Amino acid sequence: MESVRHDLVLLVRLQGTYDRIAEAIRERQTPPAEVKELQEENRHRQTELLEMEARVAAHSEELLQVKKKEDEWKLELAHFQRQKGMVTNEREFTAVISEIDYATKALNEAAARRQELETAIADMTDEIETRRKARPEEETAHREVVDGWEQRKDELRRKVHDLAEQAREIEADINPKHRARFLRLLESKRGTAIAAVTEGTCSVCHFAVRPHLQQRVRRSEEIIVCEHCHRILFFEEIVDQGIPEVNAG
């Protein structure tokens, strides 16, 4: 029947339209490698800055404690130096000298650690400032890439909308029974409801189509489905002979 052949032609066109919709949606949901790389770089840079700031905070806290210890050892050393002038025998002198040596060593260690912490804090603070000053230029370059991707996503959104309108127009010209069957298959078969017969097999599941079924598919007088995957079958050359003038974009 001519009406079945007409519907097959439209179903093939409809499948192509839904394929393009799915492709546009996948592209819109998948940022390009350049955008992903920039997102990863931003996350990595931000993580590094946060880690450096945390180290500066930890060093600053330790520096306060070291300075406190340094002041305490200075007082301790001054105390024993005063004591040295007041000793009355060799035993007391030896004990005071031992305390002075111990306090001097501790004071020097505290002073060395203080200098080490101050240098580390200054270096990291400069590095953080340098990185933050470089961010505006980097962010400008990054923004151009991200803005380009956002523009592409908007284009894809409009494309999906236009294709959906075209799909509705095609569907309106298909027999409701055939349309409903196609849409059920589209949902249950992961977006592919129709398959060409190629070299005697279903082009989707590759199951062999029996010769007499091939003849029925070729005549296009009824809707024939694959015996294995149950998708609607068609021959490319038959459909190509009668594709109607439908705007698919």
**In whole angstroms, how large is the CA radius of gyration of the chain?**
40
For 161-209, how does the pLDDT look when each residue is reduced to its tens digit (9 = 90+)? 999 999 999 999 999 999 999 999 999 999 999 999 999 999 999 999 9
Could you tell me the two tokens for 113?
């650690």
More confident residue, 131 or 164: 164
pLDDT at 247 over 60: no
- Judged against a pLDDT cut of 90, whether residue 68 lies above it is answered with yes
Averaged pLDDT of the chain: 90
Q: For 32-52, what is each residue's pLDDT tens digit? A: 888 878 778 888 888 999 999
Confidence of residue 84 (pLDDT cuts 50, 70, 90): confident
CATH topology for 31-169 is: Helix Hairpins (1.10.287)
- The length of the chain is 249
Arithmetic mean of pLDDT, 70-92: 90
Backbone angles phi, psi at 222, to 5 degrees: -155, 165
- Other C-beta atoms lying within 10 Å of the C-beta of residue 130: 9
pTM for this one?
A: 0.61
Q: What is the DSSP letter of 207?
A: P
Give me the residue spans of the domains in the chain.
Answer: 2-19+175-241, 31-169
pLDDT tier at 152 (50, 70, 90 boundaries)? Answer: very high
